Structures are given as C-alpha cells and as structure tokens.
Amino acid sequence: MAAKNKARHRSAESLDQVGYPSDSSALKSHTRDYRRLARQVALQYLHQLTVQKGANLDQLESFLTEFTDDHRARPLAREWIEGTWRNLDRIDHLIQKNSHHWDLNRISLVDRTNLRLAVYQLMFCLDIPPKVVINEAIELAKLFSTAQAPAFINGLLDVIRKEIAEQSS
C-alpha cells in the first residue's frame, strides 16, 4: 500500500502547474495501454483548452506528437478531445443536471475535465462499455486528483450513465 501511495505521489510531482508532465517522456512511458494513454493525453489537453478557453485547439497535433509516441493513442485522443470540446454545452448540461447541490464551476477543473471526457464517451463512444468508461475515469481521478475524487466521479458518472441509458431506450 505504501508503495502504491509513493508511486501516486511521484506521479503528481512529475506534473507541472497545468497538469503536464514536466518531462515529455513521462506520458510516453507511463503506460503500455494505448487507450489509457489516450485518455490521459485527452484529459490534459482538455484541461489546457478549458484554461485557455479553446484558444489553443489549433495546437492539438503538436501536443499529441510531443506527449505520445504511440500511433494508436493519437487518433483516439484526437477524437475524444475534439468530440468533447464540440459537445461541451450538452455535456456540461448533463453534468450540472445530475450534480445535485454542486454548481459546475465549484467542481475542480481536473475533476470537471475528467467528467466531461467520460460523459462524452458515455454519450458517443458506444464501442466502450459504460463500466469501462467509469472505471477509467476513476483511475484518472486517482492519478490526477484528490483522495475524495474517485468516489465523487464514480457516483456522478453512474447517475449520468443511468440517465443516458433511459434516454436511449
């Protein structure tokens, strides 16, 4: 358990102020699972897009090239980033509607970005089982957020998953 916490702490230390690895090789070697890598890269670029209010969308390709050397992760990350950003109003509405007693702006930026990516995947990436989307969002929360974030992310995404499933049937 101590080793796991130490590893998590080390991961957090390797990020700069906006959540990017201080060493670009950190993401390239962080994981062998290209889908997980794509999620991490997507989360980080969506975070940057939010901070810069979308002004840097034209720099997506250079970001992907710099932060991932996996040719399978790049197209996934690109699809998820562009899709999330394109559908941001719908996604934010769904998050706000289901985050009872929480204003969207009170949710930390990292958690809000993680939720946005996961909600996009729940809504539009029908090839990914909802359980996988939620589990991966929890893993991102463990890696990039606070100790309380995984439970919050899990609970809110489960409610949103149910609403999406009801709308689909």
> What are the residue boundaries of the structural domains of the chain, listed by start?
2-168
CA distance linking residue 102 with residue 85, whole number of Å: 22
- The two three-digit tokens of residue 165, written as one number: 């499933």
Are 141 and 156 in contact by the 8 Å Cβ rule? The answer is: no
pLDDT at 117: 98
pLDDT at 32: 63
Q: What is the mean pLDDT of residues 54-58?
A: 88
Does the model's pTM come out above 0.85?
A: no
CA distance linking residue 78 with residue 39, whole number of Å: 10
pLDDT at 168: 84
Helices (H), the chain: 2-13, 25-30, 34-51, 60-67, 73-86, 88-98, 109-124, 130-144, 149-168
| pLDDT at 73 exceeding the cut of 80 | yes
User: What would the pLDDT profile of 114-150 be if each residue is shown by its tens digit?
Assistant: 999 999 999 999 999 999 999 999 999 999 999 999 9
| pLDDT at 5 exceeding the cut of 50 | no
Q: Which of 117, 115, 109 is closest to 152 using CA atoms?
A: 115
CA distance linking residue 157 with residue 119, whole number of Å: 7
Are 84 and 117 in contact by the 8 Å Cβ rule? The answer is: yes
Residue carrying structure tokens 């559908």: 87
CATH architecture under which domain 2-168 falls: Orthogonal Bundle (1.10)
CA distance linking residue 95 with residue 12, whole number of Å: 26
Q: Please report which confidence band the pLDDT of residue 160 belongs to, taking 50, 70 and 90 as the band edges.
A: very high
